[in-house]
Chain A
Amino acid sequence: TQLLEQSPQFLSIQEGENLTVYCNSSSVFSSLQWYRQEPGEGPVLLVTVVTGGEVKKLKRLTFQFGDARKDSSLHITAAQPGDTGLYLCAGALPDSGYALNFGKGTSLLVTP
């Protein structure tokens, strides 16, 4: 059973465009993380959000944790080819914080 649903599954945009990817669940998480994974590599942690309604910014990336701690979004402003990759959200349930539940990911392609 997939606890976290990510959308869209695939996204192909041109350099300079903005985009938002979503991570939704019916479960409440104690924390939620976003990772980026490139082919042949392991996921690399981008951010951790822990408080409902929390917004974090990392350069052109803005992450938001839903008020109810069930969903999250990642917004990229002025996407660049270097943003290309698989974006994964992962949530930690309150009773097993170390066992992350990953979504299937959003595969992003940014073309020049």
Chain B
Amino acid sequence: GAGVSQTPSNKVTEKGKYVELRCDPISGHTALYWYRQSLGQGPEFLIYFQGTGAADDSGLPNDRFFAVRPEGSVSTLKIQRTERGDSAVYLCASSRFGANVLTFGAGSRLTVL
């Protein structure tokens, strides 16, 4: 597509529930990134994919967070047993291989009640 698409744009859930957030990157971009932006903060790195594999998942806060990219295109960020502190905007970005030019999506705003 023309840009990075993220769904849902808004998700409200209850504490303890499971959530999936989807990212559809720009066609042909092999690199995909997930960031988390809390209120009043800059984006915080979570995970980076090069193709299908997670090249760096050092930013994932704990084992409740997991991300996949099975076919090297669409990625899903999965959060188990959500907590109120998980409330944030989850941003996805993509880039061409070797290029440090990231195109961000509009984000998925997650609210955990």
Q: Is A40 a contact of B106 with CB atoms below 8 Å?
A: yes
Contact with B along A83-98 (1 / 0, CB 8 A): 0000010101000111
Let me know if B48 and A99 touch, CB within 8 A: yes
Nearest B residue (CB) for A104: B42
Query: How many residues of B are counted as interface, with CB atoms below 8 angstroms from the partner's CB atoms?
Result: 25
Give a binary string over B80-102; 1 marks a CB under 8 Å from any A CB, 0 the rest. 00000000000101000000111
Q: Is the interface of A mostly helix, strand, loop or mixed?
A: strand
In the complex, whether A8 has a CB less than 8 A from a CB of chain B is: no
Within the assembled complex, what's the spacing in Å between the Cα atoms of A4 and B59?
A: 17
Q: How many whole Å from B100's CB to the nearest CB in chain A?
A: 6
Chain A, 1-22, contact with B by CB distance < 8 Å: what is the 0/1 string?
0001000000000000000000
Interface size on A, residues (CB 8 A): 23
Q: Which residues 46-79 of B have a CB within 8 angstroms of A?
A: 48, 55-56, 58-59
Q: Kindly report which residue of chain B lies nearest to residue A31, judged by CB atoms.
A: B100
CB neighbours (8 Å) of A41 from chain B are 106-107
* A98→B4 contact, CB < 8 A: no
Q: How far is the CA of A42 from the CA of B55 in the complex (A)?
A: 23
A99 to B48, CA, bound (A): 7
The listed residue (A42, A48, A103, A104) touching B100 by CB distance below 8 A is A48
Residues of A within 8 A of B100 (CB): 31, 33, 48, 92, 97-98
Query: What residues make up the interface of B, taking CB atoms closer than 8 Å to A?
Result: 4, 31, 33, 35, 40-45, 48, 55-56, 58-59, 91, 93, 100-107
Report 22 cross-chain contacts, Cβ distance below 8 Å, ordered by A residue. A4-B42, A40-B106, A41-B107, A42-B4, A42-B104, A43-B43, A43-B91, A45-B101, A45-B102, A48-B101, A90-B42, A92-B100, A98-B48, A98-B100, A99-B58, A100-B35, A100-B43, A100-B45, A101-B45, A102-B42, A103-B42, A104-B42
